[in-house]
């Protein structure tokens, strides 16, 4: 029998109301799902239980990353470009086209970004030895130092964020998220 603070969901099972969910130590998504089940019991809102948490976690992660980067005087886009150059391996340079692929921006945007990084002394343009008309963008020693420091801070912060899960659960979560995101990544 249903209590006054419970309703039946689309699957016929009792869905607790907000008061019962909050009393059980639930999170905001549990409250949202309970409200939708109460207000629109004909909808199967099960995807919200996963994807709303992913969306909220993405917002928290974005703030965490921006904090790690700003501590080193970097914007997120600056970190993205410098990190792509750093990951390229010695001599830590890429063509503008390769940077476009790595950072998913337009060529006009990339030109502006490289200009700004060069002005700050974090990257430099060099002639492409294989193409007289081409250029390569190279990470400077100052750029390497700042991106390495920002990355170290980011990884420490992300470890703290994931410390609530044992290593085995982190691996399982990574596997599940890879499966969900794979169809989107293949289209990139």
Domain count, the chain: 2
Same domain, yes or no: 38 and 70:
no
Q: Phi/psi zone of residue 22: left (φ > 0), alpha (ψ -120 to 50 degrees), beta?
A: alpha
Task: Look up the CATH number of the domain holding residue 93.
Answer: 1.10.10.10
The reply to whether 57 falls in a domain is no
Residue 74 and residue 23 share a domain: no
Asked if residue 152 is part of any domain, the answer here is yes
Dump pLDDT digits (tens) for 33-80: 999 999 999 999 999 999 999 999 999 999 999 999 999 999 999 999
| Residue 148 placed within a domain | yes
Task: Provide the residue range defining the domain that includes 23.
Answer: 1-44
Average pLDDT, the chain: 86
Indicate whether 52 belongs to any domain: no
Domain membership flag for residue 32: yes
The pLDDT-based confidence of 133 (bands split at 50, 70, 90) is confident
* Residue 139 scores a pLDDT above 70: yes
In a domain, 50, yes or no: no
* Same domain membership, residue 72 and residue 1: no
Q: What is the DSSP letter of 75?
A: -
Kindly state whether residue 55 falls inside one of the protein's structural domains: no
* pLDDT surpassing 80 at residue 29: yes
Tokens of 109: 């945007």
* pLDDT tens track for 85-100: 999 999 999 998 899 8
In angstroms, rounded to a whole number, what is the distance separating the alpha carbons of residues 48 and 25?
A: 18
- pLDDT value of position 13: 52
If asked whether residues 87 and 9 sit together in one domain, one would say no
**Whole-angstrom distance, CA of residue 92 vs CA of residue 115:** 17
Classify 121 as helix, strand or coil: coil
Check whether 106 has a pLDDT greater than 60: yes
Buried b (16+ CB within 10 A) or exposed e, 73-97: ebeebbbbbbbbbbebeeebbbebe
Q: What pTM was computed for the model?
A: 0.76
Per the domain annotation, does 158 fall within a domain? yes
Q: Are residues 5 and 32 in the same domain?
A: yes
């Amino acid at each position: 029998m249903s209590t006054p603070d419970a309703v039946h969901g689309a699957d016929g099972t009792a869905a607790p109301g907000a008061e019962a969910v909050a009393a059980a130590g639930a999170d905001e998504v549990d409250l949202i799902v309970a409200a939708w089940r109460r207000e629109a019991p004909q909808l199967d809102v099960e995807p919200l239980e996963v994807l709303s948490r992913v969306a909220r976690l993405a917002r928290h992660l974005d703030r965490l990353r921006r904090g790690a980067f700003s501590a080193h005087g970097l914007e997120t886009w600056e970190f993205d470009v410098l990190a792509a150059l750093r990951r390229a391996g010695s001599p830590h340079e890429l063509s503008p086209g390769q940077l476009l692929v790595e950072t998913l921006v337009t060529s006009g945007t990339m030109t502006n970004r490289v200009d700004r990084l060069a002005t700050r002394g974090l990257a430099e343009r060099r002639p492409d030895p294989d193409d007289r008309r081409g250029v390569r963008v190279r990470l400077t020693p100052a750029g390497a130092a700042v991106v390495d420091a920002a990355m170290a801070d980011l990884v420490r912060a992300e470890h703290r964020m994931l410390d609530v899960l044992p290593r085995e659960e982190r691996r399982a979560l990574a596997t599940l998220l890879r499966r969900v995101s794979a169809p989107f990544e293949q289209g990139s």
